[in-house]
Amino acid sequence: MSETFFITGATGFVGGRLAERLIETGARVRCLARPTSNRRRLEALGVEFVDGDLNDRAALRRGVEGANVVFHLAGLTRERRRGEFDAINRVGARNVAEVCAEVGKASGSAPTLVAVSSLAAAGSAPKSGKNGNNGKSGKSEDAAFDGRRLKRETDVPNPISAYGRSKLAGERELLRFAAATPTTIVRPPYVFGPGDAASTPLYKIANEKGLFLVPGWLDRFYSFVDVDDLATLLIAAAERGERAEPSTLDPIPAKNGRCSGRGVYFATSPTPVRFSEFGAAIGNALGRKVKTQKIPPMGVLGTGVYGEIVKIVAKKSPPLDWNKAVEALFGAWICSGDKAARGLGVRFETPLAEQFAAATDWYRREGLI
């Protein structure tokens, strides 16, 4: 008998790909979705729908009961009104974990809970204490990338944005129930790949203007993960991942700035690349030269302020708001995938340039650029 999986956030970019991967194995897949959400992709897969949202505990219970694994992917990356981050990213995570624990107590067997958080919850990469090699080899997690070392699961989280703080708050809610339901947290960095509608403006400007926009004066290193690689890691985490403990994120007094990080994994390609390399790969796939255009910090912050005004006046979510402007300018978003490689045997060996090209081809085929 095949396993049963319950997914929150399946109508999103990552959740849709994860559902496809699970269906390919012959598994039974249930997806939490609002009646008004776009279900076409999931309907074509033949998944079972559970009508509701993260605040609908009855719907969550219907999805969780009988499931072997719960993948909690639903989350908010941009809020239109103050308080939305907390309501979705923290309270939503708590609701899912609490229902899993309640179902487990009633049935005698709690499902495994694998939750997608974010590198933003961990925070900006710390300064390197060594001279490092400026990221040229990428073989050691102590290598320095512009004076920063890769963020590790054992670093005590220090989010710098409202979004990051809400995701960390969600992680802490999950850990409250970790003793009652086996829990693993996966933190991806910049997720890209076919289906990523949120990044369309970057590809569109590169195609139409021959420009790739880099926020700020520094061309920083970034960690990236392809959506299919992320799905691979999520499935591996469900099958054989380390499980978290309530104290997973608590600082260890004897270890300066460290926690156990148990049950937490970064999902990332092996070596960070500069943001301009992302643009160059898009240009290569388009068959044209793409010039890097650096946006002055005040321009980035000004656009972020404008984004906040758009939220209030037009009730829309702009591509860049204050939260994302802060992350773009003040964060060093690089992390190590060594723990996942060692503990889960998940190694992402396809070159990033090749994956960037495949994503660009998808945008072109879909007529988005």
CA distance 217 to 295: 7
CA distance 105 to 112: 13
Whether residue 48 lies inside any domain: the answer is: no
| DSSP category for residue 141 | T
Whether residue 129 lies inside any domain: the answer is: yes
Q: Which two tokens stand for residue 68?
A: 């072997």
Q: Report the percentage of the chain scoring pLDDT > 70.
A: 96
Indicate if the pLDDT at residue 82 is higher than 70: yes
Whether residue 26 lies inside any domain: the answer is: no
Whether residue 88 lies inside any domain: the answer is: yes
CA distance 228 to 234: 10
- Report pLDDT digits (tens) over 200-258: 888 999 999 999 988 988 899 999 999 999 999 999 999 999 999 999 999 998 778 79
CA distance 233 to 267: 7
Whether residue 31 lies inside any domain: the answer is: no
Indicate if the pLDDT at residue 51 is higher than 80: yes
Domain of residue 334, CATH code? 3.40.50.720
Contact 266, 196 (CB under 8 A): no
**CA dihedral of 75, 13, 116, 224, whole degrees rounded to 10:** -120
DSSP string, 102-119: HHHHHHS-PPEEEEE--H
CA distance 222 to 229: 17
Residues 6 or more apart whose CB falls under 8 angstroms from that of 224 comprise: 189, 190, 191, 192, 268, 269, 272, 273, 278, 352
Whether residue 9 lies inside any domain: the answer is: no
Whether residue 23 lies inside any domain: the answer is: no
When the pLDDT of each residue in the chain is averaged and rounded to a whole number, the result is: 90
Range with the lowest mean pLDDT among 10-14, 21-25, 206-210, 314-318? 314-318
Containing structural domain, residue 287: 75-358
CA distance 92 to 32: 12
Whether residue 255 lies inside any domain: the answer is: yes
Contact 190, 274 (CB under 8 A): no
Number of domains composing the chain: 1
Which band of pLDDT confidence, cut at 50, 70 and 90, is reported for residue 369? confident
- Higher per-residue pLDDT: 32 or 217: 32
Residue that is written with structure tokens 């608590």 in the block: 250
Residues 6 or more apart whose CB falls under 8 angstroms from that of 287 comprise: none
- Report pLDDT digits (tens) over 88-147: 999 999 999 999 999 999 999 999 999 999 999 999 998 886 434 444 444 445 567 888
Strand 221-222, strand 273-274: pairing: antiparallel
- Report pLDDT digits (tens) over 170-208: 999 999 999 999 999 999 999 999 989 888 888 999 999
The per-residue pLDDT for 303 is 87
